Amino acid sequence: MVSIKDIAKKAGVSISTVSYALNGSPKVTEETRQKILAVAEELKYVPNAAARTLKTRETKVIGLYLTDFGGAFYGDLLQGVKEVLNQKGYDLIVCSGKRSHRFLPERTIDGAIVLDATFSDKELLKYAEMGKKIVVLDRELDHPNINHVFLDNKAGATLAMEYLWENGHRRIYVVTGPKASYDSNQRLKAVRQFAERHELDVKEVEGRFTKESGELAAERIFQEYEEPTAVFCLNDEMAVGLYMFFRKTDLVIGRHIHIIGFDNIELAEYISPRLATIDYSKRKWGALASEQLLKMLSGKSVEHERIYVKLIPGESVGSLSNR
């Protein structure tokens, strides 16, 4: 492998002069820089990223850890993360799987944004103790090197339940997400609190935040159907699964089956009837996570942040109040 020593020898300059030229330092003239760059190209020189990291103590790369990439949820979140990082001269690596966790202690990345259930709390706290800067989107951890940027899940779930209640619905199913999902658990906690306050008997059906699990939930609801029923799906992907199933039956969404979701994915606006859902800016969520992490990397203090939500009414929920 060609080193800067080889370039210095062929160009007839010192090693430090080569280093200045390759890094764009004003300490060398433009003529000298062009001469050195020409020699580097002739020798097919490739910079040693590991060596550079050891010297500068930074890679200018951020890791975004996701449990998976499936469904319509992640696009806007990724775009928000990427836009802010690119504006500040950072690149992004999207990671999934336990083997990629080593990028943090190995200094392959400068910091991490985590929405990934494969990380244990203990592991993240260990990396934080090592001085690694981390923004978490999916759990609460108390450490000065860890910042939280959360959705207001409880407020969103409460809005959804209030919408069903105000439309006269008392027979309600809730289709949950994976047991390890922080967002699902927070939404479910709010559902249970609302049900207790209003003395509602809410039936819980386990889902996985996928269309397929929504279809399976719909099958159970169909088998138990006796009268108009409301369903709160804790994400829109599962709500789409319910649409797919009930369209094969004689039960009509908005008349017999009343559905509300969470996330306001793009498809929610175009399926018929329009899906009622809980909306928030996924792009803003990603952008804010990036901004917080970059502040931490520059030594600035940061407060925990929250992304607020709002209700999007839809014809998928009809009113029983006047019946």
Q: What is the mean pLDDT of residues 76-99?
A: 93
Task: Classify 173 as helix, strand or coil.
Answer: strand
For 137-192, the pLDDT digits (tens) are 989 999 999 999 999 999 999 999 999 999 999 999 999 999 989 999 999 999 99
The reported pLDDT for the residue numbered 68 is 78
As a whole-number percent, the residues of the chain with pLDDT over 90 amount to 79
The single-letter DSSP state of residue 256 is T
H-helix segments, 104-151:
121-129
What pTM, to 2 d.p., does this model score? 0.80
d(C-alpha 322, C-alpha 16), whole Å: 82
Domains 61-151+282-308 and 153-279 share a fold: yes
For 183-224, the pLDDT digits (tens) are 999 999 999 999 999 999 899 999 999 999 999 999 999 999
188-197: Cβ within 8 A, 24+ apart: 188/157, 188/234, 189/154, 189/157, 190/153, 190/154, 190/155, 190/156, 190/157, 190/158, 190/161, 191/157, 191/161, 191/232, 193/158, 194/157, 194/158, 194/161, 194/162, 194/165, 195/161
d(C-alpha 91, C-alpha 84), whole Å: 10
* 153-279: CATH class: alpha beta
For 26-73, the pLDDT digits (tens) are 888 999 989 999 999 899 887 765 555 545 567 899 999 998 776 667
CATH number of 61-151+282-308: 3.40.50.2300
As a whole-number percent, the residues of the chain with pLDDT over 70 amount to 95
The count of C-alpha atoms lying within 13 angstroms of the C-alpha of 57, restricted to the half-sphere facing its C-beta, is 4
- Tell me the fold of 4-47: 434 Repressor (Amino-terminal Domain) (1.10.260)
The reported pLDDT for the residue numbered 244 is 97
The reported pLDDT for the residue numbered 49 is 54
Domain boundaries, the chain: 4-47, 61-151+282-308, 153-279
